Structure 1
Amino acid sequence: MSEPEDGGSRRGALIGLVVAAVMLAVGLWLAHSLTAASKMQDCVMSGRSNCNVIEPAR
């Protein structure tokens, strides 16, 4: 009997981990983007004319 190589299973697990990490990063970015768009839309729908985000000076 020949023993299966461990390199293949480790490579598959590593690829799966990278894919999961990329999906998590894209999901977090998408959630942040949708939250910002929702806040802007709520501001505009409330009748305000100045809904720009004001960044504090550093």
Structure 2
Amino acid sequence: MQPTETIQVETETVGCDGGGGALGHPLVYLTLDNGGKADCPYCGRRFVLKEGAKLSHGH
């Protein structure tokens, strides 16, 4: 699936609800991979780490 929208984020965990209010989808939490990206399995939004932001390693 091609991403419908790309959203830049500064954290490694993000929540996605489709952004459509009642027309969205259930809230899911995604963790960015080592490449600094994650795709929502419901709506296809792609979340990417902003340039200069760093993923934390560990707890």
TM-score range relative to shorter protein: under 0.3
TM-score with structure 2 setting the length? 0.17
Between structure 1 and structure 2, the one with the greater Rg is 1
TM-score between both structures, scaled by the size of structure 1: 0.17
Higher strand share: 2
Higher normalized helix content (fraction of residues): 1
